[in-house]
Structure formats: structure tokens, C-alpha cells
């Protein structure tokens, strides 16, 4: 895995709806920008070799960083893969939609649910939103949220961005009724 850069971002919401948020709502993102392992190969029928080589080391690299950057217990989490214009969306999906990748984050966050995800292809500077859900119960509405990410010079055409996001709480000032109230 040829990593060009790692980008970290922390968002702290101090006020929402004109009211203070105490403690501040905190979301962290850590993203790796790296060379697409299928670069220049044309259509690859079996992606398993690249997945085997990259997915687990990538999860091992990112998961502890995002938990440490959050600086609190993870309550919600998500992931994203953005593929440069010369790649396929399936390249990013193949790397993040495997237990080889995701189990690193589940273990670091003490989580059990599937990680919500975004995958897309785009040019350098593309904006993408990582969805987050509660780490043990994806039906907990208060934790359904997104974090916007943009890396000005990535991905290059033959690169992929893979990012993990973690939240220490649900949405600031959330007040939707529990899903069970609609059943």
C-alpha cells in the first residue's frame, strides 16, 4: 500500500439551534490517500489479491487513529471510499466492505453493527459525506448523522481515499422520538 498522505479532521459543535451544546458534540475523521492497487490493470475480474494486500493494513492504520483523535468513547461510526477518476467504484467498495477492513474499527470502537458507508468516484477536491450510525444499534435515531469531508488535492486519478469517522454522541439537540414509537 503506497500511502501519499493521511488527513485528520475534528469538528466540535458548540451551539445548535441557538442553544449551547454541552459537552460539545465531537466528530473525528481520519482519511488515507493512497495509490489504487489496481492502477493501470484495466478491468480486473477478481479483486481479491488487492483486497487481501490492502484492506486489513488500511483498517489497522486508520481505526486506532480515528479513535485516538476523537478523544472520547465512540458512540457512532461510519466509513467512506472515494476513487479517483481512473478507477472503479468497486475498487473502493472492495476495500471497505470486508471484515478484513471493518473489524479493525469495530474492535477499536467496541462496536457490533455494520458500518454505514459512502462510495463514489470523483476528481481531486470532491466533497463527500460519511454517514454515521450507532455502533451497537443502527436503529438509534439520535446517532444518524453525517460528516462532510473534502481533501483539496485528492484523490488523484489513480488514487483512492478511504476514511473512517467516529462520533462521541448523537446529533446535537436531537429530539426525534425513538423508532419504536412508530411501530
Q: pLDDT by residue (tens digit) across 74-100?
A: 999 999 999 999 999 999 999 999 999
Which single residue is written with the C-alpha cell 481515499?
161
125-168 pLDDT, tens digit per residue, is 999 999 999 999 988 999 999 999 999 999 999 999 999 999 99
Q: CATH number of the domain at 3-182, please?
A: 3.30.1330.110
Percent of the chain with pLDDT over 70: 98
Distance CA 98, CA 120 (A): 17
pTM over 0.85: yes
Surface-to-core class of residue 122, CB atoms within 10 Å of its CB (0-12 exposed, 13-18 middle, 19+ buried): middle
49-79 pLDDT, tens digit per residue, is 999 999 999 999 999 999 999 999 999 999 9
CA distances from 183 to 136, 137, 141, 180 (A): 20, 17, 14, 5
Please report, for the chain, the start and end positions of each structural domain, with discontinuous segments joined by +.
3-182
Average pLDDT over residues 16-31: 96
Distance CA 109, CA 26 (A): 15
Amino acid at each position: 500500500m503506497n500511502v501519499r498522505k493521511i488527513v485528520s479532521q475534528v469538528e466540535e459543535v458548540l451551539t445548535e439551534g441557538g442553544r449551547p451544546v454541552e459537552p460539545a458534540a465531537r466528530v473525528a475523521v481520519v482519511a488515507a490517500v493512497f495509490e489504487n492497487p489496481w492502477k493501470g490493470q484495466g478491468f480486473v475480474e477478481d479483486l481479491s489479491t488487492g483486497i487481501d494486500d490492502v484492506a486489513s493494513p488500511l483498517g489497522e492504520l486508520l481505526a486506532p487513529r480515528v479513535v485516538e483523535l476523537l478523544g472520547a468513547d465512540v458512540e457512532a461510526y461510519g466509513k467512506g471510499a472515494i476513487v479517483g477518476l481512473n478507477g472503479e467504484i468497486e475498487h473502493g467498495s472492495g476495500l471497505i466492505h470486508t471484515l478484513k477492513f471493518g473489524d479493525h474499527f469495530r474492535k477499536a470502537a467496541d462496536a457490533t453493527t455494520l458500518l454505514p458507508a459512502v462510495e463514489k468516484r470523483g476528481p481531486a477536491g470532491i466533497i463527500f459525506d460519511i454517514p454515521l450510525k450507532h455502533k451497537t444499534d443502527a436503529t438509534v435515531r439520535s446517532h444518524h448523522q453525517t460528516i462532510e469531508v473534502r481533501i483539496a488535492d485528492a484523490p488523484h486519478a489513480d488514487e483512492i481515499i478511504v476514511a473512517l469517522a467516529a462520533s462521541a454522541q448523537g446529533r446535537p439537540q436531537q429530539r426525534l422520538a425513538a423508532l419504536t414509537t412508530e411501530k
